Structures are given as C-alpha cells and as structure tokens.
Structure 1
C-alpha cells in the first residue's frame, strides 16, 4: 500500500491511497464467505457455493463492493498511522479507481488537530479581587445561620411582611376556573417573591379566614402567559421569630461557646472562601490571557458538532430537569436566540482552543497523571454528576472514558503550570502567591481540570463546598433542637 498526505488547510488533509489488489485478498475471501452464508443456490450445500458461481449468479461487482467496504477502514487507519496524523472525526472517503485484479485507489479527507505553538506565557499579568472580609460580610453570614434557627408560631392578627401563610388559591381566566388553577394548603412567606406577582400586596393585612382577589399573569400551566383573576384565601398566619444573637445562640448553632468565637470563625471561613474565589478567578483570567497569545485554528465541523452538543445538553438535560424549554429559558435570561447562539459559539470555540493548547502544553512539559490524582478528579466528577464514586467509576470504565478523565487532569496540571508562572496582583496592588496554601494551589489545578472539560465557569467552587459544610452543621444543630 502507498499513501500520500496533502494539506488542504491547517485543520484538514487529503489522504491519497493506492492498494495493490493482492492486499484485498483477505477481504475478498471474507466477502465470498459472507455471501455464501446468506444465499442458497440449487445443487450446492449452504456455505459451499464456489466463487465462480457466486460471480455468475450475483455479480463480481457485489463481491468487490463487499470486500472494499470491509477493507477500507483498515487501509485508511494504516495511511493515518503512516502519515502520523492526529485525526478528528470521520473521514469523507471517495473511491477513485477500482480495477479488478489490479488496483484499489481512494482518497480520504479528514479534519486533523492543528499544530499549536505554545506562546511565551512568562509575561502574563492579571489582576484579581483582593481578599477582604468586612464586618457587614460577617453580619450577613451570622444572620444566615440565625435564619436557620428561626421559629414560627400561629398568630391571630393581620398578615405582615415576613409572615408565613397557609393559603388556598383559585385562578380564573375569562371567568372560567382553570383545571390546573386550584391549589390548597400552599405555604407562602410574604416578601419571598416565590409565587405570583401581586400576591404580597393582596394578602398583606388579611387575617386567617379572610380572602383577597388580585390580577396576575400566570407563570406556568395550561394558561401560561395569560392574565388571570386569582382568589386567595388565608387559612393560617404564622409569625417568624429569630433567636437572640448571644452566647446561647452560638452554643445552639455551632461548636463554639461564645458569639464572639462564632463570629471569628465566620470571618475565617469567609476569608478562606474568598481565597478560593481569588484562585479560581486567577485561573480563569490567566487562561483567557494565554488564549489571547495563541493562534489556534478550529476545524469547522468540530466546532459545529461542539455547538450542537452544548445545545443538546442544555435543552435535554439541564432545562429538561427544571421543566423548561429553550424559549422559556431565553425569556428568563432576557436573551434573543441570536444572542444565545453567539454565546454558545464563543463558548464552544474557547473550549476547543483550550483543549488544543493545554494538550500541547502537556506534551511539551511531559506532564504525567498519577493514580491518586486521577482518583481525586473522579471523586469530584462523581459529586458534580450526582452519582456515587463507585457508580461513576463503573460508568467511566464501561464507557471507555478513562483516557478522557486522564486528559482532563493533565490539562488541569498544564494550566496550573501557566498560573504559577504568571504575575497575579490583587485590586489593592498586592502580589498574590497562589502557592501560599496547599488547598488554594489545589483549587487552581482543579480549576484547570474544569477548564479542560469545556472552558466554562467551574461547576463547584470551593466556597460552595464550604457553605454546604457549614449549612450541614447548622441543619444538624437545628434537627437536634427540634428533636429536643
């Protein structure tokens, strides 16, 4: 077999392949055998029909077609390997010559990963937000914790802001009660904005047993978007009371004995969260600066496939779980379809360029991925997917996705190399050393892994994890209080 490579553009090549006919013999034999098992000819046992009879009855052309279809993938793969090509996607194959007994010739056009030159990233400089925690930030944090331990009690007075009501609803459109417009025993807190526009004004001042009527545009259901006359009956009014901010509250809501200790811990936790945010911001800005320095062509077909994949995942997975379609999502976001398409294309381009560039950096720096690193990454991915680590690991192995995860970790390490080389300054003009704390350095690397997955904002920042941990502790304390 002979092959030659012609470069059509930086991301596409044409392979020209010539195969001597004798190299087709294994595929020809397989074609005769396959046809033998599929047809019957009088006078011959099944599977024992001579080749000349098959040629006469069914045509030599049918046999050649079967043989060529069987052989093409093998010859194409050999040509790709011979040309040392890093192909992307499926080729467009055209058989240019097929001479029985002499020659098979074909061309294959296919996208290839472009050659990427790593730019000099030693001069990258970015500015990030300074780590600053104000007294107001601490107050807000403590108030959120205090809010978890609020108690409610039934009151015999008109409803007011912050009260939690039990209400019955009935919606009418054009005088007719909607089948899906009736609800009973709904819990609603005045001022939460979680139900219909206009309900707060309607129920404020209404006591248990009282009713009110208001007009509002329906946000869902069979008459979504239509104006409805809504009748609301208040069946119960509950007042919400917050615990006093004192040492007793600190002992109730945390492991600390005094309110001062609780506030100090809140400040420390907020500072750590902001350091995580700072590290993530540095990673994102350094990545953007690196991409600005690099010239990276993108195969058009790969870009279109990535755009379609992102749209599909959004519509069929994320929005589907929330009960939304794309039209409603765009309304909520205040975007036109054209703006959405432009943003999706920009994100897809960034994701592809990021992978090309970081993969090249992995190769240049000869970065390796250890088992422990892979396991940690798998645990993070499992958490974000909602699966247990064992379930996620099994799905990854069965789907042959282990190399993909290895690539994500390697790209995270590559981006960490660039971040470490960059000059990061905060908004106060102070140089930020992201290696000061091990956990912060890990955030940079984990952020690189997220960037490698698609160059979007990280799915689960460390501050969210810290918040979740604090919330979990508070919930445990609240449950203990309730049980007591």
Structure 2
C-alpha cells in the first residue's frame, strides 16, 4: 500500500491511498466465503459454492464491492498511522479508481488534530482573590446550625417573612381547575422561594383560616409558563425558635464541649473550603494565562458539534427548571447574540484547552494506573448520583473508559502546569497549591524518593483491562 497526504488546512487533510490488488485478495476470499453461505445453488451445499458459480449467479462486481467495503476502512486506518494523523471526525471516503485485477485507489478527507506547540509554561503568573473567612461567614454557618436544631411553635398572628406555614394550593385557568396543580397540607417556609412567583408576597400578612388568590405562572405540566389564578389557604402559622449559641448548644450540635471550640472548628472548616475555592480559581487563572500564549486552529465541524451539544444541554436544564430561553436571557440581562457569542467563546476555549492538555500529557508521558481509574469512576458516579458499580459497568460496556482515562490525563497535565506557575493572592502572598490536599488542608512536601518510586501504568494498558 502507498499513501500520500495533502494538507487542505491546518485542521483538514486529504489522504490518497493506492492498494495493490494482491492486498485485496484476503478480503475478496472472505467475501466469496460469506456469499457462499447465503445463496442456494443446485448441486452445491450451502457454503461450498465455488467462486466461479458465485460469479455466475451473483456477479463478480458484487463480490468486489463487498471486498472493497471491508478493505477500505482497514487501509484508511493504516494510512492515518503511516502519516501520523489523528482524526477528529468520520472521513469522507471516495473510491477514485478500481478495475478487476488492478490497483484500488481511494481518497479520504478528514478533520485532523492540528499541530500543537506547547509554550514554556514554567513560571506562568496568575493572581486570585484572598482565601478569607470573615466573622460574618462564621455567624452565617452557626445560624444554619441553629436552624437545624430549631423548634416550631404555633402563633396567633399574621404571617411574617421566615415563618413556617401549612397551606393548601389550587390553580385554575379560565375558571377550570388545572390537573395536577393542587396541593393540600403542604409545609412551607415563607421567603424560601422555589415555588410559585408571588406566593411569598401573598402569604405575608395572612392569618390561619384565610385564603387569597393571586396570578402566577406554572413551572411544570402542560400549562408551563402560562398565567393561572392560584388560590392559597393558610391552615397553620408557626414561628421558628432558635437555640442560644452557648456551651449547651455546642454539646447538642457537635462533639465539642464549648461554643469557643465549636466556633473555631467552623472557622477552620470554612478556611479549608476557601482554600479549595481559591485553588479552583487558580487553575482557571493559570489555564487562561496559558491559553493567551497559544493559538490553535480548530476544526469548524468540531466547534459546531460542541456548540450544538452545549446549547441543547442549556435548553434541557432550563426545561427542567420550568424556564424558557427568553426568560433566562432576561434574567441574565443578555441578548440572543450576546449569549451565542459568549457560548462560542467558552466552547473554543474549552476545545483549545483539551488539545493543549492532551499535548502536555503526551509530552510529559503521564500514565493512569488502575487505582486512579477506580477513584475517578467512583467520583464520577457520585457526581451523577449513580451506584458506582452500575456506573462502572455502563462505562465499560459502552467503551467510555478511554474517555475517562483522557479526563484523568488532562487533570494531571493541568495540575503539572498549575504547580509550576507562580500564583499570588490579592494581598501579594504566595498561594500554596502543590501540597494542597483534597480536604483543603496543606500537607508536607512529598519526599523525592516517594514521588519517583511509584511506576505508573501507561494509559494504553489501563484501557485494555
């Protein structure tokens, strides 16, 4: 086989492949054997029909077509490897020349991974906000803890913001009850939101035994987004009583004996969370700084597919939330044009980052061992709310393991880039990232021997298991 490549653009190539007839013979023999099992010819057993009789009954051309359909994909893959091309989409293949007992010639146009030159990323500079915990932050968390141990008592007064009420709801459209839009005996905290627009405003000032009608829009069902009349009836009003923040409360709500110890623990936990948020911001800032140094051409088809996928995902999430795209854009203060421009920018940055991180992972020869893959599978399962074993089975059955391996490799590449960067906070202090643990604490630097001692399994071996 001979092949040559023509570069149509930085992201598209055209392969010209010539396959001698001798290399077509194995596929031709296989085609004869397969057809022999499918036809009935008097005087011959099924599967034992000789090629000459197949040519007479089926036609030599049909056999040649079947052989070509088998050999072309094989030779296409060989041509890719021979010319060191990484395809990004399905090819457009055309057989340009073929005659019986002559050389097969075909072309294949395909989007390919562009050539990527990774800039020197050692010492990249980025800045992030300070990882601060204020007294107000601590008070807020203590308030949440107080509410968890709060009690409710009935009150004989109009509803106020923050009260708990027991209500009945019924929606009507043009005087007719809306199917599925009726609730009885529902407990609700006024001001919490998440229900119908206008509900909180209607409840404030009502007393037990009273009802009120207001106009709102349904967030689900067949009439989602349409205006309906909603009648709310209050059957019970309750006030929340919060425990005092003292040593008794600390012993009730935690393992600590004093409120001082509890407060210090809350501050420490908030600090760990702030460090993790700061680290995430640092990763984004360092990656943005690196992306500013590169210009990678992107295949239009790849960008378009990703745009369509993300747009569809946004529309799906809005549908689950009972919102239309128009409502979302109004809330965000964006026009359609601004939304599309922002979406395309984010898609192009994301695809560029993937190309860049893949190249870094390849250059640095990162690998993925079985423990890392198992940990990643469990984390992904938890994020999607699925059983880890069922999630893993699905990933293996549908051949998604290579994608997960690539995610891990990209994470390692990004971690390597970030750890080599110089990140400072708004106060000018160095941000420690290399020794940041998953729980937000700062660990001791690993010894060189420990870092170099563990051999990693190449990604190819992991994907074969």
TM-score (norm 2): 0.87
1:101 aligns with 2:65: no
Does the Cα contact within 8 Å between 2:39 and 2:46 map onto a contact in 1?
Answer: yes
Question: Structure 1, residues 375-397: CA drift from partner, whole Å, max 9, x if none?
Answer: 33333222212223333333333
Q: Which shows bigger deviation, 108-117 or 366-375?
A: 366-375
Which residue matches 1:243? Answer: 243
Which residue matches 2:367? Answer: 368
Q: 1:105 to 1:194 in 2, by over 3 A?
A: closer
Deviation at 1:118, TM superposition (A): 0.8
Does the Cα contact within 8 Å between 1:180 and 1:222 map onto a contact in 2?
Answer: no
| RMSD over aligned Cα atoms | 2.6
Q: Which shows bigger deviation, 20-29 or 393-402?
A: 393-402
Does the Cα contact within 8 Å between 1:164 and 1:238 map onto a contact in 2?
Answer: yes
Cα distance in 2 for partners of 1:232, 1:380 equals 43
Cα distance in 1 for partners of 2:370, 2:343 equals 34
State the aligned residue count.
442
For residues 79-478 of structure 1, the aligned pairs below 5 Å read 79-315=79-315, 318=317, 335-439=334-438
Deviation at 1:148, TM superposition (A): 1.1
For residues 33-72 of structure 1, the aligned pairs below 5 Å read 33-72=33-72
Does the Cα contact within 8 Å between 1:217 and 1:228 map onto a contact in 2?
Answer: yes
Question: Structure 1, residues 179-217: CA drift from partner, whole Å, max 9, x if none?
Answer: 344322122222223333333343333322222233334
Which residue matches 1:17? Answer: 17
Cα distance in 1 for partners of 2:118, 2:357 equals 9
Which residue matches 1:26? Answer: 26
Question: Structure 1, residues 283-314: CA drift from partner, whole Å, max 9, x if none?
Answer: 11101111111121112222223233334555
Q: 1:42 to 1:396 in 2, by over 3 A?
A: same
Per the alignment, in what secondary structure is the counterpart of residue 352 of structure 2?
helix
Cα distance in 2 for partners of 1:222, 1:70 equals 50
Larger helix fraction of residues? 1
Does the Cα contact within 8 Å between 1:435 and 1:441 map onto a contact in 2?
Answer: no
TM-score (norm 1): 0.84
Cα distance in 2 for partners of 1:248, 1:142 equals 14
Cα distance in 2 for partners of 1:217, 1:363 equals 53
Deviation at 1:255, TM superposition (A): 0.9
Cα distance in 2 for partners of 1:3, 1:194 equals 62
Per the alignment, in what secondary structure is the counterpart of residue 236 of structure 1?
strand
Per the alignment, in what secondary structure is the counterpart of residue 186 of structure 1?
strand
Does the Cα contact within 8 Å between 2:219 and 2:323 map onto a contact in 1?
Answer: no
Does the Cα contact within 8 Å between 2:224 and 2:322 map onto a contact in 1?
Answer: no
Q: Which shows bigger deviation, 349-358 or 431-440?
A: 431-440
Q: 1:148 to 1:295 in 2, by over 3 A?
A: same
Q: 1:54 to 1:182 in 2, by over 3 A?
A: same
Cα distance in 2 for partners of 1:131, 1:273 equals 9
Cα distance in 2 for partners of 1:414, 1:215 equals 54
Cα distance in 2 for partners of 1:354, 1:424 equals 19
Cα distance in 2 for partners of 1:262, 1:17 equals 73
Structure 2: runs of 5 or more not aligned:
444-465
Does the Cα contact within 8 Å between 1:129 and 1:427 map onto a contact in 2?
Answer: yes
